Amino acid sequence: MKDRLSKLTVASGILGLVLLFGVMLSGAAYPSLVFRIGAPLGLLFVFLSVGLLGLRYVRDICEAVREKQWMLAVALVMMLLVAGVLMLI
């Protein structure tokens, strides 16, 4: 990992997945307190990880443009566009 943002992204994703798998393995359903607290927290950490990943890509694009690495910048922008189109489908 090259910086703190990458480490935070990975840690947030892993924590969210561990919480979600813990809720699934416990077999808890709606009235259970484990489900009502664990599932939303797990989803929150996973979506936070996705947001941080997008922020990291934007930062990488800015660094590539600043260093005049045009092919890398174009490739990253195309990856973001493809991910955006896939989310709309």
pLDDT digit string, tens, across residues 3-42 = 898 999 999 999 999 999 999 999 988 889 999 999 999 9
pLDDT the model gives residue 61: 84
Contacts of 20 (CB under 8 A, 6+ apart): 38, 39, 42, 43, 46
- Most distant CA pair in the chain, distance: 56
Q: Above 80 in pLDDT, residue 2? A: no
How far is the C-alpha of 38 from the C-alpha of 20, rounded, in Å? Answer: 7
Identify the band that residue 1 occupies on the pLDDT scale cut at 50, 70 and 90. low
